[in-house]
Amino acid sequence: MRPVDALIDHLKSEVARGKTHVLLDEEAREGLRELFIKSREAAKSSTATSKLSKQAPTAAASPAMLRLKTTATNTATSMPENMPLLKVHGETREESLESLRQQAENWAPVKALGSLRSTMVFGSGSPHARLMLVGEAPGHEEERRREPFVGPAGRKLDDILKAMDLSRQDVYISNILKFRPLAPRQTINNRTPTPEEIASCLPFVLKEIEIVKPDCIIALGVTAAVGLLKLQSSVESMREQWHSLDGIPTRVTYHPSYLLQSEANNDIKRKLWEDMLAVMDKLGLPISDKQRGFFLTK
């Protein structure tokens, strides 16, 4: 298979998983430029035209993010039948989470896959939080500091929490995956996890929910939503409604990293904020006129 076909297959599978964007670091962009140049040269010599070469970014205009055609489908994750059982020890929530964290460090199903990196990043925040937020997987910065959401997307999440009059200490923050998906020649770029990778880590986030017993959960982005709720859909069609995760009201919203992308306009920010207002309402948190008015047209 030519590298360009592998890339097309990969992008198709991302679209099928509900992804609308892929982030590319400088190294990945350089790889795409090389592919583009090679396929242009091949096209010149054979007069054949390559579908991707027409769309591939040039050195002069290479977007840091490729926009993919959106479909409202995704691959729901089911737990393999031979998944080992987690044993939770401890009297307190703190102790139970610690026993879970220790098991995550050497979790055999993850090791058996061999497609995830070795640094484990566990959930953080208050074990007594009423609100739990679940993202996709740790990235470069999270791996370095062994804490979820501490990179650029994490700073966006901090801003969102601050606008809700909350801090990281008030909530519990976790990820569907406890390990960063491995990618060839990886630098700071991230890869979307496969359904098998999600399934290998899913018992941990479900146990975290069982231990923390939040009153409300926010699934940040399509991977968290699909992993937790077993739906096959896009964020757009899962948001604006309450889902139930073992009886816990769960809201789906955009991943904070989406707000960092240049194409995320005020409309997306307003929609995310509407989701947060619904969560605040559900938790009975006070909502000021100023908070209600964010993003209202003046």
Please give the residue whose beta carbon sits closest to ligand URA in the complex. Answer: 135
The alpha carbon of residue 268 and the mean position of all alpha carbons in its chain are separated, in whole angstroms, by: 16
Residue 49 or 187: the one with the smaller Cβ distance to ligand URA is 187
With contacts defined by CB under 6 A, name the span among 57-65, 74-82, 86-94, 135-143 that binds ligand URA: 135-143
Q: Distance of CA 95 to CAs 90, 92, 123, Å?
A: 5, 5, 14
3-state secondary structure of 249: strand
With contacts defined by CB under 6 A, name the span among 50-58, 141-149, 164-172, 179-187 that binds ligand URA: 141-149
Q: How far is the CB of 157 from ligand URA (least distance, A)?
A: 8
Please, what's the b/e burial string for 144-164 (b: 16 or more CB within 10 A of its CB; e: otherwise)?
Answer: eeebbbbbebbebbbebbeeb
Q: How far is the CB of 171 from ligand URA (least distance, A)?
A: 13
Exactly one of 136, 143, 197, 208 binds ligand URA (CB under 6 A); which one? 136
138 binds ligand URA (CB under 6 A): yes
Please give the single-letter amino acid code of residue 211.
I
139 binds ligand URA (CB under 6 A): yes
Work out the number of other CB atoms within 10 angstroms of the CB of residue 284: 9
Please give the single-letter amino acid code of residue 268.
I
- Identify residues 146-165 at the interface with ligand URA (CB under 6 A): 148-149, 151, 153-154
Residue 142 or 275: the one with the smaller Cβ distance to ligand URA is 142
127 binds ligand URA (CB under 6 A): no
Please give the single-letter amino acid code of residue 273.
W
3-state secondary structure of 175: strand
Question: Between 78 and 117, how does the x/- string for binding to ligand URA read (CB under 6 A)?
Answer: ----------------------------------------
Placement of tokens 């970014």 in the chain: 57
- Identify residues 234-293 at the interface with ligand URA (CB under 6 A): 257
DSSP-assigned beta bridge partners for residue 220: 253
Provide the Cα torsion 153, 156, 162, 164; round to 10°: -90
Host H or E run for residue 218: strand 216-220
Residue 98 or 141: the one with the smaller Cβ distance to ligand URA is 141
Q: How far is the CB of 255 from ligand URA (least distance, A)?
A: 6
Strands 216-220 and 131-135: parallel
Exactly one of 20, 39, 50, 175 binds ligand URA (CB under 6 A); which one? 175
Please give the single-letter amino acid code of residue 3.
P
Q: How far is the CB of 205 from ligand URA (least distance, A)?
A: 12
Residues that bind ligand URA (CB under 6 A): 135-139, 142, 148-149, 151, 153-154, 175, 257
